[in-house]
């Protein structure tokens, strides 16, 4: 509890960060294949130079810095640093290949690595850029640290702490390295399934690749300026929804499905997800009544409810044209988010379940003797008091960031509902926009959304600890 009384060891942080830098450099080499395929040779050269330079610098630091075991605070610091740092590295080829201002390129990279999907990119970007940002979402979806654990970091205490910070669930295998491998295998399989169904459903090859990467990661970047609305018919939006849902459910469910096909229905997060989705669809349909035909209203309601709740952020309609009531429903769904242990953002369903159990327990206590023991349980698992404190702290900070960020947008002349919607989309790493996010947006508001996206992906507390003075200086 009092570990932060002693400050972090910067050299240890840099040692493990150098490994992650090598991984980020390797990540940048993948888009050059697409650039070569489409004949964008200057862009391929940019990715080659930057990627290899980053790998070399990471390797150099790794060899020069002394070894050491990570403590929890160092693992938290690395979790807070790696996402903005990876976005910074990715923004360099973005700005060099498109001519975008660096702030816009950094915004796009943060939106990618946090799996948000808000965009300020021009409509004239080429296929290498479109693939690169979808690829960035795919890597950010599973978690950069998980991939690095599988490849670079040997098993041990440091690996365990890095895994626990990035994915606090019980490991699927006895070792965290083995668990990381299983998670990546599941992720790759889901991505392959998504690509197959999208391509078989009529989506062009390149579009299917990009959408598979951004859908399973619940990222939301599309190759079409109109997002899913750029594809005619209902088949492709339906298949995109299936792909998003595969990423929004707890990954630990998939190994259990092999043994029992009905195991998914025993998962409490899955059941609550369906409840929230049904409520959202009905409310959206009600708010659209009289403004669209029943068939069109149902189509919009189903797609957008799942898109908001899974935090994927694809759209089949211009969100800015929806009634205020519809935007309010979508905002609430973006707050909820997907399952813990998935690629989705938001507050997460398991946290909300625990909070509902706390409220229920408070009322039940009034009907019981004062000395009665009433442990807080979710199914058969007892929830420790420390976890409740952590959840309450997270929800409070989440709400505080939402209020402050929305207020800044309101000071710039945007309405309350649109301000809350846009900030909720960034903080929930969703990517739906009511029309505020654009290249013409003031630099301050871009900065606010960048911070919100990072806070939403890192989940606030690690980033706050990074800025906590006692983290670095002993008082």
Range of the domain at 87: 8-168
pLDDT tens digits, the chain, 475 residues: what are they?
Answer: 444 457 778 888 888 788 888 888 888 899 999 999 999 999 999 999 999 999 999 999 888 888 777 777 777 788 788 889 889 999 999 998 888 999 999 999 999 999 999 999 998 889 999 999 999 999 988 765 565 454 444 545 545 455 454 555 544 454 566 777 778 888 899 999 999 999 999 999 999 999 999 999 999 999 999 999 999 889 999 999 999 999 998 887 888 787 777 778 888 889 999 999 999 999 999 999 988 999 999 999 999 999 999 999 999 999 999 999 999 999 999 999 988 878 888 999 989 999 998 898 888 888 878 777 778 888 778 888 888 888 899 999 999 999 999 999 999 999 999 999 999 999 999 999 999 999 999 999 999 999 999 999 888 877 777 777 777 777 6
Instruction: Please give the Cα distance from 465 to 242 (Å, whole number).
Output: 37
How far is the CA of 197 from the CAs of 133, 154, 212, 214, in angstroms? Answer: 21, 36, 9, 14
Residue 179 lies in a domain: no
What's the Cα-to-Cα distance from 272 to each of 84, 194, 279, 434, rounded to whole Å? 32, 24, 11, 27
Q: So what's the pLDDT on residue 119?
A: 95
pLDDT digits (tens, 9 = 90+) for 312-338: 999 999 999 999 999 999 999 999 998
pLDDT of residue 150: 45
In a domain, 163, yes or no: yes
Report how far residue 33's alpha carbon sits from residue 353's, in angstroms, rounded to the nearest whole number: 44
**What are the tokens at 91?**
């923004």
Contact 144, 57 (CB under 8 A): no
Return the structure tokens found at 268: 């409490």
In contact, 25 and 61? CB cutoff 8 Å? no
> Which pLDDT value is given to residue 169?
52
Residues 343-399 pLDDT 10s: 888 999 989 999 998 898 888 888 878 777 778 888 778 888 888 888 899 999 999
- Give the pLDDT of residue 468: 77
- Rounded to whole angstroms, the Cα distance separating 215 from 263 reads 23
Total domains in the chain come to 1
The reply to whether 25 falls in a domain is: yes
Q: Return the pLDDT at 2.
A: 47
Is 372 within the bounds of a domain?
A: no
Please state whether the predicted TM-score (pTM) of the whole model is above 0.75: yes
Q: What is the pLDDT of residue 423?
A: 97
Residue 217 falls within a domain, yes or no?
no
Residue 439: inside a domain:
no
Q: Is 145 left (phi over 0), alpha (psi -120 to 50) or beta?
A: alpha
Examine residue 23 and state whether it is found in any structural domain, yes or no: yes
CA 157 to centroid of chain Cα atoms = 26
Please indicate, yes or no, if residue 458 is contained in any of the structural domains: no
Tokens 């408070």: give the residue: 362
Provide the token pair at 224: 């079409």
């Amino acid at each position: 509890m009092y570990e932060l009384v002693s400050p972090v060891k910067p050299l240890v942080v840099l040692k493990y960060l150098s490994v992650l830098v090598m991984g980020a450099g390797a990540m940048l080499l993948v888009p050059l294949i697409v650039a070569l395929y489409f004949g964008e040779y200057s862009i391929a050269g940019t990715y080659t130079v930057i990627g290899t330079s980053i790998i070399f610098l990471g390797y150099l630091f790794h060899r020069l810095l002394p070894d050491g075991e990570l403590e929890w605070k160092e693992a938290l610091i690395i979790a807070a640093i790696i996402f903005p740092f990876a976005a910074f590295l990715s923004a360099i080829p973005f700005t060099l290949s498109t001519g975008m201002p660096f702030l816009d390129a950094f915004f796009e990279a943060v939106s990618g690595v946090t799996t948000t999907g808000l965009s300020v990119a021009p409509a004239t970007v080429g296929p290498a850029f479109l693939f690169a940002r979808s690829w960035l979402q795919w890597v950010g979806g599973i978690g950069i640290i998980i991939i690095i654990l599988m490849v670079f970091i040997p098993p041990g205490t440091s690996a365990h702490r890095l895994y626990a910070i990035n994915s606090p669930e019980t490991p699927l295998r006895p070792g965290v390295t083995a668990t990381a491998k299983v998670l990546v295998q599941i992720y790759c399989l889901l991505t392959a399934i998504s690509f197959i169904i999208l391509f078989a459903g009529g989506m062009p090859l390149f579009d299917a690749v990009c959408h598979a990467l951004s859908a399973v990661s619940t990222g939301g970047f599309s190759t079409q300026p109109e997002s899913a609305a750029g594809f005619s018919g209902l088949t492709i939006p339906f298949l995109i929804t299936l792909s998003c849902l595969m990423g929004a459910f707890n990954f630990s469910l998939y190994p259990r499905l092999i043994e029992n096909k009905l195991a998914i229905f025993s998962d409490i997060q899955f059941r609550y997800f369906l409840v929230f989705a049904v409520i959202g669809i009905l409310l959206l349909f009600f708010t659209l009544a009289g403004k669209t035909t029943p068939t069109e209203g149902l189509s919009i309601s189903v797609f957008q409810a799942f898109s908001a709740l899974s935090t994927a952020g694809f759209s089949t309609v211009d969100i800015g044209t929806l009634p205020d009531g519809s935007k309010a429903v979508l905002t609430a769904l973006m707050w909820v988010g997907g399952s813990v242990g998935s690629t989705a953002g938001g507050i997460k369903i398991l946290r909300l379940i625990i909070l509902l159990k706390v409220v229920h327990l408070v009322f039940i206590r009034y009907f019981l003797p004062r000395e009665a023991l009433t442990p807080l349980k979710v199914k058969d698992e007892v929830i420790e008091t420390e976890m409740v404190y952590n959840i309450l702290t997270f929800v409070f900070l989440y709400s505080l960031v939402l209020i402050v960020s929305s207020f800044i947008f309101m000071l710039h002349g945007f309405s309350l509902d649109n301000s809350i919607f846009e900030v909720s989309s960034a903080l929930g790493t969703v990517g739906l926009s009511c029309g505020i996010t654009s290249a013409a947006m003031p630099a301050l508001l871009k900065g606010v959304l960048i911070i919100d996206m990072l806070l939403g992906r890192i989940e606030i507390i690690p980033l706050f600890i990074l800025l906590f003075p006692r983290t670095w200086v002993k008082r």
